[in-house]
Chain A
């Protein structure tokens, strides 16, 4: 019996001595929100997350998603092997509020905005001992610029959308079910954010590993674009003039250098999506525009009815770097005849059969765009003046085609505007400008351009995209834009 008692004590003792399992969750390989945003490194990581959502990730926003909206223009069409119905529907203007491509653009943009909101809210709270004020101000300025850029996209795509300026932290209906803000309110927030970003460093201040961050040049170019879109011609012109006079930027002598990895982040590039050929990053547009012959997907195909290829004047040096019927295989040196006319802007000859790893940056803002914007603004203010012509001519001359006056047409204000837009179309093809350019000219212009390019479904409502059906179903406080009601 004695032994048994000892064993009993042992047993009970063992049971009680064991410490209780803790029910708190302490993620050891993951951070949680309330552990973070305390140091300058945390602050950089918070802003990096915004760039990530907007630019880096495959299929996301600028690295591919925006391309879906280029489908709704006269220049691009869904290639024959396109599998995604959302792309096919956008290409043929059969898209509806349930279109997945439209949904994704909305989703990723608000995700980026949420990340920006977090940075804008949390970085000011970091103690002064942990972050130097210069870095703090720069990071907040970057976040505000990126937030403005996202709202600028949203308001152009969808019109009156909810204006969310704080991180979403509660799962309550009051917090989640936001309502539409007016376009005016959104634009005034965009301008406020852009003005707050004036403290960004001048181009050239970043180290080579951070060369892709937003600069004061980005801020000015975006600001000008906002004014131009709003037809505030004089504000647009003055902002553009400041940018041009700053001498930060200049055109490359050779158009090919714009898309040559050896010249990336050069004097013409204001803001670009960065690619380095690493297998961990996919260059979405490069892969999706490449032909089958080079293992491409050939989804982003030229719309042959749009006549872009034919519109290049003879001798235009941009033509072959934009569209091609044959590609030289750099491994064999032989020309490969393509079944289809193909966009080749992002073709990287270093990895001919693997354009997912193309190192060609996608320029989102570049100096040629600035010059053309300035020419447009000057024309709107004062007609096709010599000054306005000069800025248009700088782009034309670089392309190896005659100055505008040498075409021998008498230039009206309206005629000059068309020249500028045609020049933008050729110069900036597949750089995500075409849909915005068409839509800001209004429904009549958009419909006539698309119809004459063979897209007979074009209708006035297509100058905006519909607010995603999913959002309308989930959020009773959100309403569809009037033009899209009933679709």
Chain B
């Protein structure tokens, strides 16, 4: 139960507006009246409005709840404050007054920020949830999106990489789009931010998460809009749900300075159990023998040499480390009745658990709001951040796993070993980590100014202008001492990408009540534009590695520079009406029209309506007798359309691409069309129906919410396959549909109240996804990897794995009968055999594959408990994902046993003629890298995501050292994980891609963290 200052201000202005305007007649005999206004417990209330009835004159209480006013003694005072019943008090010639205001429980009810406004939770007709502060306060994370995990039913949050500062994948009510974006829209202080990862194409590895430019500690509230009734106001960007973030602002009162810090240490959750040098040497011997038996069984090393080997190089241990994470923040906030401000500065530094990787950020924020007069107010939200990422180059984690333990980091002469000494080319990953530069530096400024004016009674105009500037520089240097750099003799590249987005929003707000009818309406016009420019250049063949990327001119040969430039624009008209009768019957209707430059000439404008209703049964007269037990019972229903326009630019046009070719010694340029123009290209449309129940028991000590939804996304932005005879292979068209259906349950309980407090929140969600139609006569599309290990198939969910199915190991004497099912030209005992799905007696990838798993969970849940006793508090969150499967791509290559790269330790149990009873195939220099069901694993997990134990020092003690308050805490993230998954961590997925989700290959492993911190208010 926390109130929101932004909205408080608006209501405050609103209340002023309701005051009847009438000029008072002049008074002659006046005297000063002094008064104090307190609440039911006698505590003074600052900021209370006191108006002399029928006039415009009045006063407001100061910090001690006191006021003074020149009066004649005959007037009547109207005393009002947010959250309290308005009192009307005749002065009756008194000179001093003490007025007690009664709290208005209704008014105090939780207020949520929704699209273009705020709404009391009890008035909601849609599915909107707020995130409790427990989920994001004091968490040592780089970006707020990571903190949403487990907080809200229907929201699935998965880290895409353990690389500090890298991305997070969020699915609100399942992924619907096959090839377009699936991430929600973020709205920060009213500004819909461009949240796609930007890349200059120079740094390799995980992309920098754009949300990492916002300091989580600056955030006051997060609300998530899930159903169409709440998201349709965001029109063509609402289909994936909307996350609304409001940052902190000052409060009326004395200036408050606070300092917070936390320092922690992170370590990798798990390492993989791989072969040691002896085990590897034996696998290599066998693989070589199998290939060329004439040369004997010990072609690599003799048994004597093998037993003399130590454990060899543990490449994982060489790369992983205990890594520091620290966070420091200073806040200054305060305000008067006219001006409120908050200024904050923070520094965040997270080392990666892989050495020489990490992320740091400096962030400043200034939020200001001021009331120039009773009718006019304005404000500014300004956020600036600069972050630096040192990124693990792509392929690094795979290289750590595959490098043979018999290889060494250094040669005998002290120089780096260049690469795996065997056939498979893997460059020395430790040398890459130590010597290669691969970094990104991001500057992000988000600024928004707004003014609000009351045009007439109850009618307000708000105008805001904002900008979102992002500038990312990327730098890379591959020195000549590395394998990757040796042929080119050092390669340096620099790149920059900058995006500038500006937004203008103009909204009119009307609010009125007559009798039991309550109405508020919104109408608006907005325009947003984004311009992006990118540039990169590079050189190679350097005399020295000393200068790295700092002097491209010293490279003997230049790489072709690249640049690009694009813009998109969005024009919107929006409106919404909320009506309720007596707080019993609620109706909401909204509509947005979006015109987007991304779409075809014939299809620029889309219209996104929604309608919702709710019935608060507990307010009915016939229900009053039950109110002592059932404090709230509301049923809701909503229906609406939203869109998704997350496609690249120019997709409707037949743009031309430059190609380079040789017709002699030097390059020449050609131009060729990228696609056939599609003037009809439009957005994806999601039609969503939602039914919900809100139930509160025993004065809302138990609050239960259930929502059932069905989302049908059609006109999918799909690269529809077209015959190649056209010269093109696909065309982005609106084609096909996907359905998501689901159930969300959440339960919040106050288990104990008093000295000992215990609150719990439990949420549970399940989502079922089904592909209904994908295109032109096709009923499936294979995608990913060499042979397409993923399938999009009508009737099946997205995220399905497509592979062969193991039928065991070929045994001695079966070569003639079953050998063809190995898929090898020369099958031998010990080879894997596959199920003969098409029954032709021979294994082929075309006929003998099927769906062997799916990455979508059966259900996910979050369970949060917070306890407090005197100054102690304990808070923990458990998050679980059950029934999802993972394609363990790491195991797939680590079970090849080709003797050219390392393998899992279970290779010690491989098939040999003396160990035929096993499920691990033999060592072979010529294995077929086939994806089959063995590498699909149960990815279910339950994890203690966060646990924080804190102590707030007694105020008597704190005040004795001149502080206002002080709190110390220790916390841990990912300390316990229960899973059967054999890989690094079951929380894996690919960025913004619903098709290849749950694919674990070479992903930077996740870390667990233990940290401690303190918060002091001066």
Interface residues of A (CB under 8 A from B): 3-4, 7-8, 11-12, 14-15, 18, 20-34, 36, 42, 45-53, 55-57, 80-81, 83-85, 88-89, 92, 94, 96, 98-100, 103, 106-107, 110-111, 113-115, 117-118, 162, 164, 167-171, 175-178, 206-213, 265, 274-276, 278-281, 292, 295, 339, 351, 353-354, 357, 468, 470-471, 473-476, 478
Contact = CB atoms under 8 A, between A and B. Distances in A.
B506 interface: yes
Contacts of B563: 29
Contact of B565 (A28, A295, A339, A471): A28
A276 B665 contact: yes
B461 A92 contact: no
Given A48-B661, A110-B727, A171-B722, A23 B667 contact: no
Contacts of B659: 48-49, 52-53, 56-57
26 contacts: A7-B451, A21-B570, A27-B566, A29-B565, A33-B656, A52-B670, A56-B659, A81-B423, A85-B845, A88-B825, A94-B844, A98-B846, A114-B728, A115-B727, A162-B725, A176-B723, A178-B723, A210-B668, A211-B663, A212-B662, A280-B660, A281-B662, A470-B721, A471-B723, A473-B778, A474-B723
A29 B728 CA distance: 22
B100 interface: no
Contacts of A24: 597
Contacts of B595: 23
Contacts of B778: 473-474
B777 A473 contact: yes
B272 to A, nearest CB: 23
Contacts of B662: 55-56, 212, 274-276, 281
B724 A107 contact: yes
A25 B560 contact: no
Nearest to A92: B825
B551 interface: no
Contacts of A7: 372, 376, 451, 453
Nearest to A21: B569
Interface stretch (B74-82, B438-446, B671-679): B671-679
B604 interface: yes
Contacts of A36: 656, 671
A27 B660 CA distance: 21
Nearest to B526: A21
A474 B774 CA distance: 12
Contacts of B908: none
A27 B376 contact: no
A114 B656 contact: no
Given A11-B451, A48-B661, A212-B664, A115 B376 contact: no
B655 interface: yes
Contact of B654 (A4, A33, A281, A475): A33
A117 B676 CA distance: 14
Nearest to A15: B506
A206 B668 CA distance: 14
Contacts of B356: none
B832 to A, nearest CB: 15
B303 to A, nearest CB: 24
B597 A22 contact: yes
Contact of B671 (A42, A51, A281): A42
B724 A110 contact: yes
A168 B653 contact: no
B455 A52 contact: no
A98 B838 CA distance: 15
Nearest to B530: A21
A295 B425 contact: yes
A473 B774 CA distance: 14
Contact of B724 (A15, A106, A353): A106
Contacts of A21: 527-529, 569-571, 597
A38 B662 CA distance: 23
A7 B778 CA distance: 60
B650 interface: yes
Given A49-B672, A114-B727, A168-B728, A55 B660 contact: no
A304 B373 CA distance: 93
Contacts of B625: none
Contacts of A357: 487
A148 B306 CA distance: 62
Contacts of A114: 726-728
Interface residues of B, number: 89
Interface string B908-937: 000000000000000001100100000000
A217 to B, nearest CB: 15
A171 B720 CA distance: 11
A431 to B, nearest CB: 18
A478 B723 contact: yes
A24 B604 CA distance: 9
Contacts of B671: 31, 36, 42, 45-46, 48-49
A386 to B, nearest CB: 40
Contacts of B666: 209, 276
Interface in B475-507: 487-488, 504, 506
B718 to A, nearest CB: 13
Interface in B453-489: 453, 455, 461, 463, 465, 487-488
Nearest to A80: B926
Contacts of A177: 723
B291 to A, nearest CB: 8
Nearest to A31: B656
A354 B463 CA distance: 62
A216 to B, nearest CB: 16
Nearest to A475: B723
A335 B846 CA distance: 43
B776 interface: yes
B98 interface: no
Nearest to A293: B423
Given A52-B670, A85-B786, A295-B425, A274 B655 contact: no
B463 A52 contact: no
Nearest to B291: A80
B733 interface: yes
Nearest to B655: A30
B726 A168 contact: yes
Contact of A354 (B376, B487, B842, B844): B487
B482 to A, nearest CB: 15
Nearest to A353: B487
Of the listed residues B376, B565, B723, the one surrounded by the most CB atoms of chain A closer than 10 A to its CB is B723
B596 interface: yes
A168 to B, nearest CB: 4
Q: 5 tightest CB-CB pairs across the interface, nearest first? A: A114-B727, A48-B670, A49-B670, A21-B569, A212-B663
A218 B527 CA distance: 58
A159 B882 CA distance: 53
Given A96-B846, A275-B662, A471 B724 contact: yes
Given A11-B453, A51-B663, A354-B487, A83 B929 contact: yes
B442 to A, nearest CB: 22
Contact of B373 (A4, A12, A88, A471): A4
Interface string B629-673: 000000000000000000001101111110111111111111111
B776 A474 contact: yes
B504 A15 contact: yes
Nearest to B669: A45
Nearest to A12: B461
Nearest to A361: B662
Contact of B665 (A11, A34, A208, A474): A208
Contacts of B512: none
Given A25-B598, A470-B721, A176 B726 contact: yes
A473 to B, nearest CB: 6
B661 A23 contact: no
Given A49-B671, A213-B663, A275-B662, A168 B597 contact: no
B731 interface: yes
Contact of B655 (A31, A49, A212, A468): A31
B564 interface: yes
Contact of A475 (B453, B560, B725, B844): B725
